[in-house]
């Protein structure tokens, strides 16, 4: 197959589909300008020919790191299928329209949490966070919760995929896809 996006979509379906958290959980690695890396689990919230979409606070640690250094990597791992996919590429901001459309589709509590949490900042106590949530719940009572300007979507534009399929005797199958000008170059790698 010469379509890594299509293959990733198929493997996500095999793992339970886009509605199954375990299927769309990915470890996202970012790095500061000085190349010091950090990683965390985020949820894949869209996949198409452009790339992989996820959403977060622009002011979170990952948001700040992506502003400094747009290079990122993501890893999906489905142990029950003995499969892993590694993705590398540049990350760009999604449009306000796309971020708004996703935000309004989220449950109200998730939208309120985006207002209440100053993601990655120190917190005096969990009670403080609950108070902030209650404050914003009252502030937006009876109306739609708008998207904060500090929150939105990112697009990981892949330049490299590696698909790993576990096999007996550690004779794993590894397939590398590297983006070329118009297509993908495909190479098998030794385990």
Catalytic site positions:
170
Q: How many whole angstroms separate alpha carbon 21 and alpha carbon 24?
A: 5
Whose CA is closest to 46, among 79, 95, 1?
95
Whether residue 58 contacts residue 68, with contact meaning beta carbons closer than 8 Å, is answered with no
Torsion (CA) 125, 131, 136, 142 in degrees, nearest 10: 150
Where does residue 151 fall: left (phi above 0), alpha (psi -120 to 50 degrees), or beta otherwise?
A: beta
């Amino acid at each position: 197959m010469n379509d890594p996006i299509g293959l990733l979509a198929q493997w996500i379906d095999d793992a339970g589909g886009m509605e199954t958290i375990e299927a769309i959980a990915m470890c996202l690695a970012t790095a500061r300008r000085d190349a010091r890396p950090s990683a965390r689990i985020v949820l894949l919230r869209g996949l198409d020919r452009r790339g992989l979409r996820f959403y977060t606070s622009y002011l979170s640690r990952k948001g700040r790191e992506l502003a400094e250094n747009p290079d990122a990597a993501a890893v999906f791992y489905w142990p029950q299928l003995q499969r892993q996919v590694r993705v590398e590429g540049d990350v760009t901001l999604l449009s306000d329209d796309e971020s708004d459309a996703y935000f309004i589709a989220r449950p109200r509590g998730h939208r309120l949490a985006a207002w209440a949490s100053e993601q990655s900042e120190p917190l005096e106590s969990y009670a403080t966070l609950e108070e902030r949530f209650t404050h914003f719940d009252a502030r937006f009572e009876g109306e739609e919760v708008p998207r904060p300007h500090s929150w939105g979507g990112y697009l990981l534009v892949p330049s490299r995929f590696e698909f790993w399929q576990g096999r007996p005797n550690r004779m794993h199958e590894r397939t590398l896809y590297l983006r070329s000008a118009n297509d993908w170059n495909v190479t098998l790698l030794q385990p």
